[in-house]
Amino acid sequence: MRLRLEKRIAVPPRVSLMVAILSLVLAFAVFSIVFLQSGINPLTGYKEIFRLAFFTKYGLYKVIERTACLLPLTLAFIIPVKAGIWNIGAEGQFYMGAIAATGISFAFPNLPMGVLIPLMILGAMALGGGWAAIVGYLKGKVGVNEIVTTLLLNYVAILTSYTLVVNGPWTDPTRVPYSRQIPANGCIPQIGNTGIPYTIFIAIGLAILLFFFLKKTRLGYEIRACGHSPAGARYSGISFLKISLITMLIGGALAGIAGFHQASGVLGRLRYDISKGWGFYGIVFGLVAGLNPLIAIVVSFFFMGLIYGANNLQMSPEIGMKFGGAAVFIGVMFVIFIASQFFLRYKIRWTRRGG
Amino acid sequence: MGFFTMTLTASMFFLLPALGELFDQRSGVLNIGLEGMILMGVLAAVATSTETGNVWLGVVAGMAAGGLMGLIHGFLSISLKVNQVVSGTGIWILGVGLTTYYGLAYVGPVKHTIAPIIGGLTPLFFVGLALVPIFWFILSKTSFGLRVRSVGENPSVAEVSGINISRTRYIGVLVGGMLSGLAGAYLILAYAPSWSISWRVPVTEGRGFIALALVFFSMWRPFLLLVGSFAFGTLWIMGWYLQTVLPGIPIHIFRMIPYLVTVAILVLISTERFRKRAGTPAALGKPYFRGE
Amino acid sequence: MEKRPEQRSLWKGIKRGETVLEMKGITKRFPGVLANDHIDFDIKAGEIHALLGENGAGKTTLMNILYGILQPDEGEIYVQGKKVRIRSPLDAISLGIGMVHQHRKLVPAHTVLENIILGHPRAGKVLNVRRAEEELKGLCKKYGIKIDLRAKVWQLSAGERQMVEIIKAIYRGAKLLILDEPTSVLTPPETRQLLMSLKVMARDELAIIPFITHKLPIVLKISDRMTVLRNGKVVSHLKTKGATMRSLAKMMVGREVLFRTKKVEVKRGKPIIEVRNLSALSDKGVLALKNASFSIREGEIFGIAGVSGNGQHELAEVLMGLRKATGGKVIFRGRDITDSSILERWKTGIGYIPSERVEVGSIGDFSLVENIAMNLYFDNSFSRWGLLDYKKIRKHTEEAISEFDVMAPSADTKAKHLSGGNLQKLILARVLSREPQLLIANLPTHGLDVGATEFVRNKLVESKKEKIGILLISEDLDEVLSVSDTIAPIYEGEFMEIVPSEKARRDEIGTMMAGARPKR
């Protein structure tokens, strides 16, 4: 007997769901080691993660607020990769969006909210998109490896935020190293007293819109053609430069919106640590979502819930200060979910050996 | 420390992981999780040396930890055929997670460090320097090196020549991981022996990504990598230096220079004139499927 | 690990005519296909044994099993009467089996020498370049082969690369050499050279299995014995002496084959395209197309005959805008389109059937509907407000499938699941449905089975009635002769002559393809 791999022709939804559940179980099993090290019963730990994230009002609102950030970041990865372009730079584009939004609010503090906020969103999309489009242009025109350039430009973007807020022109003298507060009319309102900014509707709306964009539009077709076969797309008269520019522009603009959300809707200012590596989470979420913008809504909500729960286990009366391993939890979960992709693409069969 | 010594010391921190990554990429595996592997090297080195009091055991542990991360990357991208970029991202996030959690116990100045031997340079520096010609020799003059290069260029050709693709690539990721781990050990035991954790800027300060870019810059040639590492070490130190000369300008502006210069160089080597001579491994980033 | 069988002891004292290899009852299943169905096959020392069959008959599968790339589901292999298991190419190499693949198995970035010693057991831990070089020089001399061992492989011609592979196999101690379609990339003189070398090798007690599909004359000329496969089964084992082209073709196809194409006579109309002094570089940066000038009229098939790699591919790509011209002009209906984009050319009425139908002409992961959309997505009658009218495209697809007889479960089937012939029909249907004025058909029947070949040729000829001008590029001289109105043999990027088909003589065109200047 030996193992044989067969490529799956199609993945039934049932299989995807099973693989996701099994991955989760496996991740939990592995991470139990860390719980046990800290003297926590793993079952209590996981129960508390779910409870804090999905079954407390405060937690649920927080998770939705973060979904509003992570969903556009996930889409920022999905759209370019559909054209075969690996945007590993959502992190930097996110910073650029936050910088633009903050900068505009400082430049026009007296504009009415109805003008200032759209202006900030547009600015965030423009700077995030423009930042990404540099990479798109270099990739399409000269063929520069976009993975490396996006990674490098991330640091330039992050360092730009440092320059601005750490003893820089925007520094809040009372709260070094953060920027001054964004004026009140530059802060996007929150739904009731949930603490969730209205950006959540923008995020979900964009996910739905992009789903149909990819599926139904001419440009969506051109993007998918490039992703599946650059040579075939070129033969059909599709300009790779155009697609590379457009998809990176869209991706960057999406990440920019997330930056706007975080600065204007959540923190009310620019911080050098405005992202916690979230731009990279989007890559994993996008992959787990099977590059489907609609599924990305569910995936980013669910994962941000687990992450929120793990990050805030100290708030649980049953666990308290015993736990600090949320970062490990994220790492373990991501690696196992990445590994699980294999089972979506292959069937494993035991076969009798011939010959 | 003089400017020159500082430059050399800083350069070595680029050279070590980049050399491993070069080898890794020559076998066709791209590893963007370099930073995570370096961090694991830092953690293992500082933990082991603190617990045992022996810095050299720390170095070995750092290499082992990096190598282990390399093997995880290998398992994901070679055996499970997951996209290498995604796998690398996962490895990086895992490395950051493990380091922030288990590293808490070792925050602060490192107790045992490796002492300089000549001109302010530690033995590890000379080890790194010696690795350059060794890697060059292995890659271009030995049978094993030819096999590694062939797997990175065209795995199906290599396979019909009787080469085990998976094994060769596993060696690639192992070497890449071990050198990243060594870089971590070098960083914490010899170069900047103080362990601090803040979210945005782990001790590595994103230099793993510069090392990654350096591999592209070097056009996959060890000696050019050496030159590149010195150039970037100089740029890195210049940041500090210029800040004292021109105090009005924030240091972060200077910090951007290496990243921007790397982008510029990448653009240059991607142009028509250089691309042919660059010698990018043709199968870089592609998983290998038998019989397809 | 099990010890690999020693080749030296196996091949010692073999005499000419002795059976050295036997494959018995080899069966191999792929999902949905029975690729090999209880195949028996044997080979004797010193003989050239041809394996014949159409594409998909199971030749490649059988040889991949022999070379250890694939494992059989059933069946046994005996070398010298001893049962062996060949689990990897390395096992095959140890048994003295060498293979030269149809898709070249060389690393282009490496030198010839590096390629040859790659994986060689005696290469030494540190590469012993000088010794290998001397030994290889001796080998080349023995078989009359000239090759620069230090050249990079990407700089070599297709024929030279094949020679490198043969030397590589022999240098690794191959006593049994499998050649996959060995003459498909060779010019006639190169073919003669190869056949001569093979005869010498066979005399050297090497057993050689070349396996060939279309080139029946060569099989008849060189082989001692033949095995014919069809649909994964052995149709016949026979001696070459006494076999004829016609009987072999019938065995391969399973019915009487008439390589005949309908003749359609139409009056030629106005010129569609005029090409003046066109030049272009190849991928390697070498001048591949040199000052080509010609014109094509409505209802004319302009056939370019040439062995691959003589600039015809570059010409097709330049005309479609896929490659830049380095000199000259392309005038389409009186308009200079030399610098037009690919999309503009599709829109103005140029259609292109690329030679790489899997990599370029179709998108494997796309459904047939989406593949048909490749030439329609930009057409305003198939989209509104930037949205594609998939309903209309689907209808169009279904029409194309039925009209061109594409065998596919549904319009939602992915293109990668179609056979080569059906895929080509789909591409042809798609491009012709645009009603182009000029059709560039680059190797439209290459690698297709006889049925699909006939279909494609007839479609091309019929489309003359629609006043379409066709540029046909083919490596098959008979195809060019039977279909074209004008024939242009090409050699090293130059047309040797441009002759009307009535005046074309087969042997003259053949020698011009090999570089001979016209005598007139």
Residue at token pair 């003989």: C47
- Give the mutation candidate from C374, C378, C389, C442 for the A interface (greatest A CB count, under 10 A): C374
pLDDT digits (tens, 9 = 90+) for A83-140: 999 999 999 999 999 999 999 999 999 999 999 999 999 999 999 999 999 999 999 9
C340-378 pLDDT per residue, tens: 999 999 999 999 999 988 889 999 999 999 999 999 999
- Which one of C77, C347, C350, C388 would you mutate to disrupt binding with A, by most A Cβ within 10 Å of its Cβ? C388
Residue-wise pLDDT tens digits, C134-160: 888 888 888 877 888 888 888 787 778
Interface mutation vs chain B, best among C28, C107, C284, C326, most B CBs within 10 Å: C107
Q: Are C49 and C20 in contact (CB under 8 A)?
A: no
pLDDT at A132: 97
What's the one-letter identity of residue B160? V
Q: Is the pLDDT of residue C469 over 70?
A: yes
ipTM for this model: 0.90
What is the per-residue pLDDT for C32?
65
Can you give the pLDDT at residue C12? 66
How much is the average pLDDT of C369-390? 92
pLDDT at B199 over 50: no
| pLDDT of C10 over the 70 cut | no
Q: What is the band of C171 on the pLDDT scale with cuts at 50, 70, 90?
A: confident
Residues of C in contact with B146 (CB under 8 A): 110, 114, 117-118, 123, 127
Q: Which residues of A touch C386 (CB under 8 A)?
A: 217-219
Distance from CA of C115 to the nearest CA of A (A): 28
Give the pLDDT score at A354: 44
**Under an 8 A CB cutoff, do B146 and C118 touch?**
yes
Measured CA to CA in angstroms, residue C70 lies from A4, A58, A355, C52, C486 at distances of 12, 59, 11, 20, 46
Q: Is residue C415 within 8 Å of C367, Cβ to Cβ? A: yes
Backbone angles phi, psi at C296, to 5 degrees: -125, 135
Q: Which of A227-231, B232-236, C235-239, C279-283 has the highest mean pLDDT?
A: A227-231
Residues 6+ apart with CB under 8 A from B123: B114, B117
Q: Which residues are C74's β-sheet partners?
A: C27
Tally of domains within chain B: 1
Which residues lie below 8 Å from residue A9, measured CB to CB, with a gap of 6+?
Answer: C414, C417
Class of domain C272-513: alpha beta
pLDDT at residue A95, rounded to an integer = 97
Give the model's pLDDT for residue B197. Answer: 60
Q: For residues B15 and B182, is the Cβ–Cβ distance under 8 A?
A: no
Q: How far apart are CA C428 and CA C57, in angstroms?
A: 24
Which residue in A229, A241, A243, A347 has the most chain C C-beta atoms within 10 A of its own C-beta, making it the best mutation to test that interface?
Answer: A229
Chain B residues whose CB is inside 8 A of the C108 CB are 153-154, 282
Residue C391 to residue C366: CA distance in whole angstroms: 16
Within 8 A of C124 by CB-CB distance, chain B residues are 143
Q: For residue B210, what pLDDT band results from cuts at 50, 70 and 90? A: confident
Chain B touched by C29 (CB under 8 Å): no
Residues 6 or more apart in contact with residue A231 via CB below 8 angstroms: C356, C359, C360
φ, ψ at A178 (rounded to 5°): -110, 165
C61-65, C206-210, C346-350: least confidently modelled range: C206-210
Beta strands per DSSP E along C61-184? 74-79, 82-84, 97-100, 176-180
What is the tens place of the pLDDT at every residue in C96-127? 888 887 666 888 888 899 888 887 777 677 77
* pLDDT tens-digit series, residues B18-59: 999 999 999 999 999 999 999 999 999 999 999 998 999 999
The one-letter amino acid at A321: M
Q: Write out chain B residues lying below 8 Å of C285, CB-based.
A: 276
Over residues A15-28, the pLDDT tens digits come to: 888 899 999 999 99
Per-residue confidence (pLDDT) for residue C3, from 0 to 100: 44
Could you tell me the residue range of the domain that residue B191 belongs to? 3-278
* DSSP assignment letter at B53: S
Of the partner residues A218, A237, A355, the one whose CB lies closest to the CB of residue C342: A237
Residue of B nearest to A7 (CA): B289
What are the backbone dihedrals phi and psi of residue B188, each rounded to the nearest 5 degrees, phi first?
-85, -25
pLDDT at C258 over 60: no
Range of the domain at A82: 67-305
**How open is the CA angle A286-A287-A293, to the nearest 5 degrees?**
40
Number of domain units in chain A: 1
Query: If residue C44 lies in a helix (H) or strand (E), which one and from where to where?
Result: strand C33-44
> Which residues of chain C are in CATH 3.40.50.300 domains?
18-103+162-253, 272-513
The predicted structure's pLDDT at residue B227: 94
Specify the pLDDT at position B292. Answer: 38
Contact C185, C307 (CB under 8 A): yes
Is the pTM for the entire model greater than 0.80?
Answer: yes
Average pLDDT of chain C, as a whole number: 85
Distance from CA of A220 to the nearest CA of C (A): 9
From chain A, which residues contact C within 8 Å (Cβ)?
6, 9, 216-219, 221-222, 224-225, 228-229, 231-239, 353-355
User: What's the average model confidence in pLDDT over B119-143?
Assistant: 92
Q: Give the C window 396-425 contacts with A, CB below 8 Å.
A: 414, 417
DSSP state of C262: -
**B65 and B41 Cβ atoms separated by less than 8 Å:** yes
CB-based contact, B130 to chain A, within 8 Å: no
CB contact under 8 A, B146 and C114: yes
Render pLDDT for B57-100 as a digit per residue (tens, 0 to 9): 999 999 999 999 999 999 999 999 899 999 999 999 999 899 88
C356: which chain A residues are within 8 Å (Cβ-Cβ)? 231
- Which amino acid would we find at residue C87? R
How many whole angstroms separate alpha carbon C379 and alpha carbon C384? 10
SS (H, E, C) C200-248: HHHHCCCEEEEEECCCHHHHHHHCCEEEEEECCEEEEEEECCCCCHHHH
d(CA A200, CA A191): 10
Predicted local confidence at residue A335, as pLDDT: 95
Whether B101 and A327 lie within 8 Å, measured CB to CB: yes
pLDDT of residue C453: 85
What is the percentage of chain A residues whose pLDDT exceeds 70?
97
CATH of the domain at B68: 1.10.3470
Cis amide prior to A177 (ω within 30 degrees): yes
Domain C18-103+162-253: top CATH class: alpha beta
Tell me the pLDDT tens digit for each residue of C392-411.
999 999 999 999 988 888 89
Q: Which two tokens stand for residue B11?
A: 């350069």
What DSSP character marks residue C6? P
Which residues on chain B place their C-beta less than 8 Å from a C-beta of chain C?
141-144, 146-147, 149-150, 153-154, 156-163, 276, 279, 282, 290-291
Q: B242: which residues sit within 8 A by CB, 6+ positions away?
A: B249, B254
Amino acid at position B94, single letter = L
pLDDT exceeds cutoff 50 at B109:
yes
Nearest CA-CA distance, residue A193 and chain B, Å: 30
Please say if the pLDDT value at position C27 is more than 60. yes
pLDDT at position B156 over 90: no
Q: Quick one: angle between helices A278-288 and A240-260, nearest 10? A: 120
What pLDDT does C1 receive?
A: 35
Does the pLDDT at position C2 exceed 60?
no
- Please give the average pLDDT of every successive group of 10 residues along chain A, which has 355 residues: 69 85 94 91 93 94 96 97 94 97 95 95 97 96 90 92 87 84 92 92 97 95 95 95 97 97 94 88 93 96 95 84 84 94 81 50
Residue C51 β-bridge partners: C211, C227
